[in-house]
């Protein structure tokens, strides 16, 4: 190589270095924890769900991440969408009422990503998908979906909307609703360095709730004329003439939404993990809530599932865990373990079994282990404080020992 050629190459290398340095700050918001999708399920996942009620300030988020790291968790499922409102700077949805219904002066998701990564933890954005509103009274914000798109919500045969008081859901049978929800997920994964997108309520939330009178039957949502016309167009049937086809069709609409989100994530952020919180009983989930998670795994639509195995007895916990391991193979499952108001000995035993059989678990939830804080950063003690203290005292040392074991 002569001096002239060497000089040209040095200049080229210098130019490339300058380009990389220039674009790195811009690309930084797109970069997740290195190889997030590749390592998920290969390194044991010790996750914890942090709900949208657990933080109000940047200090809260830093404190949460400190507690999670010290307890031995390596993955934080950080809730950023509850019911049609956001806990990040969204172009599509208004700020959450839990943050005052307006920009709080900081971006919770951006701070959470930075705080988790600084502590060498993965950060997965946790989003409730189907719920469009939750409250006992209609929202005041005209931008809230309940007000802005009333035609998107479930209606019964008489045209009545779901009663207020619990989650009111948007209708995934409408193509424009699926597009909208996919767009909401897109702005999360393209705007923040998340290591994963975690889909919750990715089903029909049609169980009985306090919103319905005792003994009342939950209507067979959605029975609005447009949904019935779409079903008739696709099948030539009516729900009453063929209930099995009606249920299968609704299951298909949920799977279409999962497919749309999957395709978007693979285009926009192929490096991150796409997961879903799913019902423990996979048969009931499909027949009652139109959630076919085993199909999603078979078709590669999600990278992992989090079965919420919240039983308070070991035999069904073990049976359900083994059933999911068999159904999900070779995909990883992350067993959801209920910490809230549970006997520490039971929690320890469930964690040990999850570690033995798969190595992955997720704790529900942060507030079951640690106190929330007031505006001055002081712990808010309540009737559950003694239970939390017992879990910290008796469960966290066991978690740390397991995490340290080869």
Please state, in angstroms and rounded to a whole number, the distance separating the CA atoms of residues 170 and 167. 10
Residues 6+ apart with CB under 8 A from 262: 274, 300, 301, 302
Tokens of 382: 């309540």
Q: What is the pLDDT of residue 43?
A: 84
Residue 182's nearest CA partner among 267, 108, 265 is 265
pLDDT tens column, 25-63: 333 344 555 446 666 767 899 999 999 999 999 999 999
Task: Give the count of alpha carbons within 13 A of 367, CB side only.
Answer: 16
Structural domains in the chain plus CATH codes: 34-135+170-218+243-404 (3.20.20.80)
Angle at 202 between CA 200 and CA 208, to 5 degrees: 90
Q: What is the pLDDT of residue 41?
A: 66
Q: What is the pLDDT of residue 39?
A: 64
Handedness of CA 101, 175, 162, 367 (dihedral sign): negative
pTM confidence score: 0.91
**Whether the bond into 330 is cis, omega within 30 of 0:** yes
Contact status, residue 151 vs residue 222, Cβ threshold 8 Å: no
Handedness of CA 212, 213, 218, 222 (dihedral sign): negative
Mean pLDDT of the chain: 91
Low-confidence ranges of the chain (pLDDT < 70): 1-39, 41, 406
> 10 Å Cβ neighbour count for 340?
16
Handedness of CA 218, 222, 228, 230 (dihedral sign): negative
pLDDT tens column, 191-229: 999 999 999 999 999 999 988 988 889 999 999 999 999
Please state, in angstroms and rounded to a whole number, the distance separating the CA atoms of residues 3 and 9. 10
Buried b (16+ CB within 10 A) or exposed e, 243-262: eebbbebbbbbbbebbbbbb
Tokens of 302: 């999600």
Got the DSSP string for 177-246? HHHHHHHHHHHHHHHS--SEEEEES-S---S--TTSPTTPPPP-S---HHHHHHHHHHHS--TTT-HHHH
Q: What is the pLDDT of residue 235?
A: 98
Compute CA distances 12 → 9, 20, 26, 116, whole Å: 5, 12, 22, 37
Q: What is the pLDDT of residue 36?
A: 62
Tokens 């996750």 label which residue? 47
Q: What is the pLDDT of residue 329?
A: 86
> 10 Å Cβ neighbour count for 285?
20
Torsion-angle region of 108 (φ positive above 0: left; ψ -120 to 50: alpha; else: beta):
alpha
Q: What is the 3-state secondary structure (H, E, C) of 161-187?
A: ECCECEEEEECCCCHHHHHHHHHHHHH
Q: What is the pLDDT of residue 403?
A: 79
């Amino acid at each position: 190589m002569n001096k002239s050629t060497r000089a040209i190459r040095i200049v080229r290398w210098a130019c490339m270095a300058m380009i990389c340095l220039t674009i790195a700050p811009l690309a930084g918001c797109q970069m997740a924890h290195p190889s997030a999708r590749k390592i998920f399920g290969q390194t044991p996942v010790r996750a914890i769900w942090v709900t949208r009620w657990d933080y109000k300030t940047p200090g809260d988020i830093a404190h949460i991440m400190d507690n999670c790291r010290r307890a031995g968790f390596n993955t934080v499922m950080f809730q950023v969408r509850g019911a049609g409102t956001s806990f990040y700077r969204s172009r599509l949805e208004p700020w959450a009422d839990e943050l005052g219904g307006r920009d709080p002066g900081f971006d919770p998701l951006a701070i959470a990503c930075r705080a988790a990564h600084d502590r060498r933890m993965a950060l997965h954005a946790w989003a409730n998908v189907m719920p469009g509103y939750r409250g006992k009274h209609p929202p005041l914000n005209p931008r809230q979906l309940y007000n802005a798109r009333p035609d998107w919500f479930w209606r019964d045969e008489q045209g009545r909307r779901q009663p207020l008081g619990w989650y009111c859901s948007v209708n995934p049978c409408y193509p424009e609703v699926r597009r909208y929800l996919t767009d909401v997920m897109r702005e999360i994964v393209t705007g923040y360095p998340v290591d994963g997108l975690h889909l919750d309520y990715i089903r029909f939330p049609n169980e009985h709730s306090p919103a319905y009178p005792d003994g009342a039957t939950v209507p067979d949502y959605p029975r609005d004329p447009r949904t019935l016309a779409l079903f008739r167009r696709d099948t030539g049937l009516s729900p009453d003439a063929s209930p099995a086809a009606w249920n299968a069709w609704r299951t298909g609409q949920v799977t279409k939404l999962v497919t749309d989100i999957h395709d978007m994530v693979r285009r926009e952020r192929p490096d991150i993990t796409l997961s879903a919180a799913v019902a423990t009983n996979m048969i009931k989930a499909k027949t009652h809530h139109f959630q076919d998670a085993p199909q999603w795994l078979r078709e590669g639509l999600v990278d992992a599932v989090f079965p919420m195995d919240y039983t308070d007895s070991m035999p069904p916990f073990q049976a359900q865990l083994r059933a999911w391991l068999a159904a999900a193979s070779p995909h990883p499952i992350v067993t959801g373990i209920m910490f809230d108001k549970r006997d520490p000995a039971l929690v320890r035993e469930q964690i040990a079994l999850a570690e033995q059989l798969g190595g992955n678990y997720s704790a529900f939830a942060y507030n079951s282990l640690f106190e929330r804080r007031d505006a001055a950063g002081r712990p808010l003690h309540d009737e559950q404080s003694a239970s939390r203290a017992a879990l910290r005292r008796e469960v966290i040392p066991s978690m740390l020992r397991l995490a340290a074991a080869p």
